[in-house]
Homo-oligomer: A and B are copies of this chain.
Amino acid sequence: MIKKIYDSIGLKSPLVHNITNYVTVNDQANILLACGASPIMADDMKEVEEITSICDALIINIGTLNERTVSSMIKAGRKANELRHPVVLDPVGVGASKLRTETAILLMKEVHFSVIRGNISEIKTIYYGSGSTKGVDANISDRVTEDNMKDVIGLLKELSDRTDSVIAVTGAIDIIVYKEKAYIIRNGHPMMSKVTGTGCMLSSLIGAFCGANPQLIPEAAAVGICTMGICGELAYEKMKEMDGGTSSYKMYLIDYVSKMNADLVMARAKVEQLLLR
């Protein structure tokens, strides 16, 4: 399964439309190219429908949202839904302001998302419809641990049932839930939180895997998350070896995505599958 999902990116070279923030957009484009996909960024109302029509997946990321781009997100999202393209929501910083919370809720009302990926505080805000996220990082009190994991999975399952979306919470432990299925992934490295955009890059990467595997969305999301986590582990080893810091780390992370292959992902993936209920 991993091999099939992984290799389909190389075979199909999906084109991924990103309506995203101006902070991490370059890294998102580069990670898409690194994994074998192609990026296109376009956010003007007048072109988003056409652009998303020639693509295989759409990423909507609210990192530096403004009124102009929110309208474009809805328009592109509806078009992608109509064409049955996978659509990924990255609700960056939801809970940190009313605008972000209301925008996320509006987007979820207007657009069906195949995958919603965020940190635990963002996903909790979406679950409760309100929250008080401290910036763009997860609150420490929200952290997923072995002790609260069962409760977290319950919450994600409810959200998944309500939205018919794959819900992916990423952090020290990553959890993916869709209907009766859950994946627990234990790849990755704490260093990933010391670089801006690892979450945004991951959402784009998930979009690429889903774009190449539209019939296997939860599994494609899982393979995307494993791939990113494994590259995060390898990048840390390389950074240590080269006596580098956070900026080297980001470079090695993208480097490893460009050097990754299905066999290496299979060998290093730490995925556990659960059946719920």
Residues of A within 8 A of B (CB): 15, 21-27, 29-30, 33-34, 38-44, 46-47, 50-51, 54-55, 63-68, 93, 96-100, 134-137, 194-197, 244-248, 250-259
* Known pairs A251-B248, A251-B251, A255-B246; A44 contacts B65 (CB<8 A): yes
- Interchain CA distance A46-B66 in the complex, whole Å: 9
Assembly of this chain: how many copies?
3
Inter-chain contact A96/B51, CB cutoff 8 Å: yes
Cα A251 to Cα B257 with chains together (Å): 16
In the A-B complex, list the 4 residue pairs whose CB atoms are closest, starting with the nearest: A245-B255, A247-B254, A47-B97, A245-B258
Q: Can you give 23 A-B contacts (C-beta < 8 A)?
A: A15-B135, A23-B29, A26-B27, A26-B196, A29-B196, A30-B195, A30-B196, A33-B195, A33-B196, A33-B246, A41-B64, A42-B96, A43-B64, A46-B97, A47-B98, A50-B98, A50-B99, A54-B96, A244-B255, A245-B256, A245-B257, A245-B259, A248-B251
Contact A194 B23 (CB under 8 A): no
7 further interface pairs, Cβ-Cβ under 8 Å (given A30-B195, A50-B99): A29-B196, A34-B245, A34-B246, A34-B247, A38-B136, A244-B251, A247-B258
On chain B, the residues within 8 Å of A135 by CB distance are: 15, 38, 40, 54-55
B99 x A44 contact (CB < 8 A): yes
Smallest beta-carbon distance A123→chain B, Å = 18
B246 touching A50 by the CB < 8 A rule? no
**Chain B residue, CB-CB nearest to A254:** B247
Q: Indicate whether A250 sits within 8 Å of B247 (C-beta atoms), given known contacts A96-B51, A97-B47.
A: yes
**Within the complex, what minimum Cβ distance (angstroms) separates A253 from chain B?**
8
Q: How far is the CB of A183 from chain B (nearest CB, A)?
A: 27
| B contact residues around A42 at 8 Å (CB) | 64, 93, 96-97
Interface centre among A33, A50, A196 (most CB of B within 10 A): A196
Q: Contact: A247 with B194, CB < 8 Å?
A: no
In the complex, what distance in Å separates the CA atom of A169 from the CA atom of B164? 46
Chain B residues with Cβ below 8 Å from A27 are 26
A249 vs B7: C-alpha distance when bound (angstroms) = 23
Residue of B33, B98, B246 touching A30 (CB-CB under 8 A): B246
Chain B positions within 8 Å of A259 at CB level? 245
Q: Chain B contacts of A100 at CB under 8 A? A: 47
A50 neighbours in B (Cβ, 8 Å): 96-99
